A and B are shown apart, each in its own frame.
Chain A
Amino acid sequence: MRLGLRRLPLAFSARNGGILAAGLLGACGAFFVAQSLLLDLGGIALPGPGFFPLALGTILLGCAALIALDCWQSCQAGVMELGHRDVLITIAALLMVPVIFEPLGAHLTLGLLGAAMLVLIGRVAPPLAVIAAGAGILACWYFFEVLLGVELPAGQW
């Protein structure tokens, strides 16, 4: 079967989206419950470090179940869109930042981020974007490092 290219953004039913969010909340609740059980729970009279998170995780699981049930039974045929091009580009670019922030240094990383964002979502010509990003980073360096004394990573050069 030949798979065609899907156009972004993708449309979801509000019902499925609601159940997905409830699932994520439930997963968070389950994480807190599972991890709390590894800690000292103490007793009901004198709770230990695991007691409070265990209670919260359990309540979160309950809330997630109620939300999922509510969505399942009452959501109408609403449609939500996910995966807007500019949003995906921004998230992808941001996910790269912590990976290269220390190896490449803050200035180069943020300059690359600025230039890429200007070209890809601001539709600015690449040479102009590079100049603008460079000027922006110079301004950031002066403001944050010179004026405020914030030390940013210089990179592993």
Chain B
Amino acid sequence: MSGFDQLIGGFAVALSWKGLAYCFIGCLWGTVVGVLPGLGPLAGMTLLLPLTFGLDPTIGIIMLTGIFYGAMYGGSTTSILVRIPGEAASVVTCIDGYEMARQGRAGPALMIAAVGSFIGGTVSILGLMLIAPPLAKVMIAIGPSVQVVLILLALGAITAVCAGSRIKTASMIVLGLALSTVGLDKLTGVPRFTLGSADLTGGLSFTALAIGLFGLSEILINLEKTETIKAIVPKLKDLVPRWHDLRESAPAVGRASVIGFIFGIIPGVSHVVSTFVSYAVEKRFSKHPEQFGRGAIAGVAGPETANNAVTGTAMIPLLALGIPSIPATAILISALTIHGVQPGPLLLTEHPEVFWGLVASMYIGNVILLILNLPLVGLFVNLLRIPYTWLVPIILIISIIGVYSVNFSIADIWIMVVSGAAGYLLRKLGYEMAPLLLALVLGDRLEENFRLALTMSSGSYAVFADRICTIVLASTLGLLLAIQALAWAFGYRKSFADETGNG
């Protein structure tokens, strides 16, 4: 069966009433969580994860992915109208988006953000469709040693991309890897760190940890803030941009599509970084850089296109390699695994309906979001008028039921609460949770493949450098780590010198 036939088959799944209904639910819920501060795509996906248990895996993944890119759309609405980023990838949009809204140009800003998101999203789906199948074919042939180097490279890239202290990011990765060892050892069946509890033999619940570290910690941090929300709501007729706006935005949308496309493959917080890079690039290319920060439409078009262009390409490492590049795709891994579908190179041959159904639904979802977001912008903004403290009990109750329903275990509720409190404390101290979660997902595969590779080579570490691809990947990893170490050491010495100099 050719790729085109499979795509047609994918559209048949996505256009079935069930596919359309769950894609719509995902997009709608994604927009809502994107609009509400404190509920990003990750929390939105984890909260509805239990809903997918009774569904066909393809339909479940269609809904979860809809939440992911729906949140990217929704985040821009509050950035532009209220100057509150609904989620991290919309922070940059606040700068010029809100300025435009203050100048009475909220409509064009929203329209350009939506159209840019649509174009960025569509470009990235094309990339996913064209790159993932051939990449998966290559990756089928790789052995455990290449997988080890590839996972280490992904984790190394996270330390390079994540904002904040490198050593803190590295420590979160190591903690995530260590936590992944809790439970039965896959190769020998020996229980590790279970403290005698039968509930922990299956390992720490990923859903409980994800909701705790991201959802709950975010809620706790937001409870400390008391901001009065004053929204600027445009009328539907004001949405049409001027010819000048279109001329200014078009090149920005084009460049940002490429930027988002490239950054989507890099593990870490690529969707956030891509928006900052896009903003910087637009400022550099602009004939009037002084207008940035004062309502430049390219400052809205670029970042919004970039963060949506990431959504499709972020699926490439997930579906072709089984490696999540951002926390949201880690949730998709968890959902697929629960349904007995193993993400990775074999996904396209063993479950092509999941891959092509997802690709087709992303096209449809982008159209749904374009139709949904512009006319209903007033409705979404009104959600912000509900006091946050009234929303918290609702979110907590859904989270608790969601966490409990995965394994029907009280231990999972404990894990959620404790990890939420720990995540809150760590985030206040400048630690990022994304590296921890990604390492947690990759940890058991890293260990399993590491030990398998050594067993197959009778204990020879040369197995990690006996092929051209492993040598190239290992060299890249070594270079990346060396740069990180040098940058950290240089920064450390500089700050130490400043400290002693001041002292």
Contact = CB atoms under 8 A, between A and B. Distances in A.
B145 to A, nearest CB: 14
A74 B495 contact: yes
A144 B405 contact: yes
A117 B492 contact: no
A33 B53 CA distance: 37
Given A21-B426, A90-B223, A101-B413, A110 B397 contact: yes
Contacts of A94: 216, 396, 417, 420
A56 B396 CA distance: 33
Interface residues of B, number: 66
Contact of B450 (A44, A49, A52, A106): A52
B50 A87 contact: no
Contact of B224 (A17, A25, A73, A84): A84
Contact of A149 (B54, B174, B397): B54
A102 B404 CA distance: 11
Given A35-B192, A70-B492, A148-B51, A91 B405 contact: no
B224 A87 contact: yes
Contacts of A124: 390
Contacts of A102: 410
Given A73-B499, A117-B396, A21 B431 contact: yes
Contact of A63 (B170, B193, B389, B422): B170
B190 A49 contact: yes
B450 A150 contact: no
A63 B167 contact: yes
Interface stretch (B181-189, B301-309, B469-477): B181-189
A111 to B, nearest CB: 9
B427 to A, nearest CB: 10
Contacts of A149: 54
B115 interface: no
A32 B168 contact: no
Interface in A94-150: 94-95, 97-98, 101-102, 106, 110, 113-114, 117-118, 121-124, 133, 136-137, 140, 144, 148-150
Given A39-B192, A49-B188, A87-B220, A59 B50 contact: no
B434 to A, nearest CB: 17
B459 A46 contact: yes
Contacts of A60: 171, 174-175, 178
Nearest to B502: A76
Contacts of A81: 224
A122 B492 contact: no
Given A67-B168, A70-B167, A94-B396, A57 B178 contact: yes
Most chain-A CB neighbours within 10 Å: which of B51, B393, B421? B393
Given A52-B181, A63-B167, A118-B393, A86 B417 contact: no
Interface in B443-457: 447, 450-451, 454-455
A43 B459 contact: yes
B255 to A, nearest CB: 37
Given A67-B171, A90-B220, A91-B220, A73 B459 contact: no
A48 interface: yes
Interface residues of A, number: 70
B425 interface: yes
Contact of A144 (B394, B401, B451, B499): B401
B298 to A, nearest CB: 35
B424 A140 contact: no
A12 to B, nearest CB: 10
Contact of A151 (B167, B219, B408): B408
Contacts of B393: 113-114, 117-118, 122, 133, 136
A45 B50 CA distance: 42
Contacts of A122: 387, 389-390, 392-393
Contacts of B422: 24
Interface of B: 50-51, 53-54, 165, 167-168, 170-171, 174-175, 177-178, 181, 185, 187-188, 190, 192-193, 216, 219-220, 223-224, 387, 389-390, 392-394, 396-398, 400-401, 404-405, 408, 410, 413-414, 417, 420-422, 424-426, 428-431, 447, 450-451, 454-455, 458-460, 492, 495-496, 498-499
Interface of A: 9, 14, 17-18, 20-21, 24-25, 28-29, 31-32, 35, 39-40, 43-50, 52-53, 56-57, 59-60, 63-64, 66-67, 70, 73-74, 80-82, 84, 86-87, 90-91, 94-95, 97-98, 101-102, 106, 110, 113-114, 117-118, 121-124, 133, 136-137, 140, 144, 148-152
Given A46-B459, A136-B394, 5 more contacts: A17-B429, A32-B193, A45-B454, A56-B181, A64-B171
10 contacts: A40-B188, A48-B188, A52-B181, A56-B181, A67-B167, A84-B223, A94-B216, A97-B417, A122-B392, A122-B393
